[in-house]
Amino acid sequence: MQDPYTLLGLSRSASEKDIKSAYRKLAKELHPDHNKDNPRATERFAEVTGAYDLLSDKDKRARFDRGEIDADGNPTAPFGFGGAGGRQGGFGAGAGGGQRGFRHDGFEGPGGDGADIGDLFEGLFGGRGGAGGGFGGGSPFGSRRAPPPKGANIPYRLVVPFTDAATRAAQRVTLSDGKTIELKVPPGVENGQQVRLGGKGEAGPGGFGDAIVTIEIAPHPFFVRDGNHIRVDLPITLTEAIEGGKVKVPTVDGAVMLTIAPGTSSGRTLRLKGKGFFAKNGERGDQLVTVQIDLPAADTPQGIALRERLDGWVDERNPREKLGL
């Protein structure tokens, strides 16, 4: 197989996001379902899928970058032999220049000193003989083939209501095959976060790909997210602000009663513990309620009644004194 970076049109400094984006674009373009009359496209699809399988695996990518494996995932030949450009003579050209013999599976080569090449390769590759074990296919050194590629991943977009995202309510996702599954909203969910559903993608020679679900949190008419906390403005009457009392306040779990202390100023923030978003560690944020005193318009019956009630009442304080005014 060609260099995987070249197949995906990437540089060696490409990020994981770059790799996913490049593969998604090529897989969509080359998928066999869209190129039934183009065998070369099918071959290219398998090649880019193999390249993605290698580069999306952090360990394999690192080993490839270090030259420990080739583009097919096969170990590179040790000691400079076993492939094109390898040294002639194998073990016979060791230090000291003498012709050393070897023995493998009952065959004793020149020199006859009993050195078992199988034992050496067993130590290097962890096994000998058999399919993929390093000694099959008619060669004493064999080859390791990359596993067949899985099918393409399928992207999905899931819009989650604000309250469901906060409470982690299960969501229904309809897959491309018409089946519907339930997806539990992960703790600490963020807008644009992706969730992988293993084996829910397209079929391929090596099995099914995955479903990649991108979560979008819908905005709310009056709740606003602040990290794992939720903010909301709560309008109260002047009477409630002066005299205090209990008022109903909405939360993502349903309405609750909140105590307003006598003499509460507009802009004061009160806290409802455990009424926010779930964090990744399972703990839950709070709801922060900012009180806003709502006065009626002066020309309404409520405004006229309020003026009459306050007629003759004088407030000698200067509430702007703390601002230096």
What residue ranges do the domains of the chain occupy?
154-217, 224-323
Q: Hey, do 154-217 and 224-323 end up sharing a CATH topology, with the first three levels equal?
A: yes
Specify the pLDDT at position 325.
54
Beta carbons within 10 angstroms of residue 262's beta carbon: 10
Which tokens sit at 143?
């080859």
Six-digit token pair at 264? Answer: 């509460």
Name the residue among 221, 226, 235, 224 with its Cα closest to residue 290: 235
3-class SS at 292?
Answer: strand
The DSSP-derived string for 211-270 is EEEEEEEPP-SS-EEETTEEEEEEEE-HHHHHH-EEEEE--TT--EEEEEPTTPPTT-EE
Tell me what pLDDT residue 108 has: 40
Kindly give the confidence (pLDDT) of every residue in the chain, 325 residues in length, as a single tens digit, with 9 standing for 90 and above: 789 999 899 999 999 999 999 988 888 888 877 777 787 887 888 888 888 989 999 999 999 898 888 888 888 765 444 444 344 444 333 434 444 333 334 334 434 444 444 444 444 444 444 444 444 444 444 456 788 898 999 999 999 999 999 999 999 999 988 899 999 999 999 999 999 999 999 988 888 999 999 999 999 999 999 999 999 999 998 889 989 999 999 999 999 999 999 999 999 999 999 999 999 999 999 999 999 998 888 788 887 887 777 776 766 666 667 667 5
Number of H helices, E strands in the chain: 8, 13
- Which of 201, 183, 182, 203 has its CA nearest to residue 193? 183
* CATH code of domain 154-217: 2.60.260.20
Phi, psi (rounded to 5 degrees) for 57? -95, 110
Residues ≥6 apart with Cβ < 8 Å to 166? 223, 225, 230, 252, 276, 277, 278
pLDDT of residue 163: 96
CATH tag, 224-323: 2.60.260.20
Please check whether residue 212 is in contact with residue 154, taking contact to mean a CB–CB distance below 8 angstroms. yes
The C-alpha atoms of residue 153 and residue 211 are separated, in whole angstroms, by 6
Beta strands in 153-222 (DSSP E): 154-160, 171-174, 180-183, 194-197, 211-217
Structure tokens at 318: 């200067």
| Residue type (1 letter), 187 | P
pLDDT, position 181: 92
Could you give the count of Cα atoms lying within 13 Å of 199 in the half-sphere of its Cβ?
Answer: 2
